[in-house]
Structure 1
């Protein structure tokens, strides 16, 4: 009978709801969370290994620039020379360019053969750019689709290896 009195006193002092509520709250708050996509199309792409439709947190890289010292006409002439030099049907020789109005000049020398990359034709090169009494020796690569113009994909100062 004494055990019954202790048990009755315990439940009177601590009702079951008062004990159970904090335990439930603790379990709920300490559990892990899982994000589930809302739309059917994005969830099916995600679960099938495809990319979701909404891409967040990505910042497009700005296009590479041959030299910040070139004005628009210098750049137009340089790109024309680069296109001629990198043409896989060309001779593979260096192609020079210059702009008598600004005094800028330079050359492009293809390095190695053209190669395919992601459905594009690419080719490495060495370039010399002289503008505003400054001479830069660069190495890089450019790619183009079959009917498009060449676009720089790599560019850095030339270092002999």
Structure 2
């Protein structure tokens, strides 16, 4: 019984302790706060935010899928009114041990653009845009 009482006292007093690392006292670094949407790091357009780019990457993966039909795939973000399409151009090919495919992209909304590029992915990996440039218009005859 004495042992049980000592155990309960130890347990109840240990719950009153508080500890934190010294790094919690370091205020040299600014803290990120707020709900401002961060701009995504994307070669398509500096105007795309993270959600735009997440939706665009999903559409790009479907459009460039070597097992897919090779047709145009659309994406949109109603919150930002940005949208676009990806159309694979030609068959997939291997370059530097990655599966690659060229594509055309059209962005509409505030960041309208017509682009041409190439994306590659390692076996089982995600597509990464390797190059992108403005689409050259057809020469006038």
TM-score for the superposition, normalised by structure 1? 0.58
Question: In the alignment, which of 62, 76, 91 is matched to residue 84 of structure 1?
Answer: 62
Partner of 1:47: none
2:72 maps to which residue? 94
1:151 aligned to 2:122?
no
Equivalent residues in 2 for 1:1-161, closer than 5 Å: 65-132=43-110, 134-160=111-137
1:123-152 deviation line (CA, Å, top 9, x unaligned): 0000001242x4100000000001110001
Measured after TM superposition, the shift of residue 64 of structure 1 is 5.7
CA contact (8 A) 1:139 1:156 kept: yes
- Conserved 8 A contact 1:64-1:154: no
Q: Which ranges of structure 1 fall in alignment gaps of 5 or more residues?
A: 1-62
Q: Number of aligned residue pairs: give it.
A: 98
Structure 1 consecutive aligned stretches of length 4 or more whose deviation exceeds 4 Å: none
Which protein has the bigger helix share?
1
Scaled by the length of structure 2, the TM-score of the pair is 0.66
Does the C-alpha gap of structure 1 residues 80 and 123 become closer, same or farther in structure 2, counting only changes over 3 Å? same
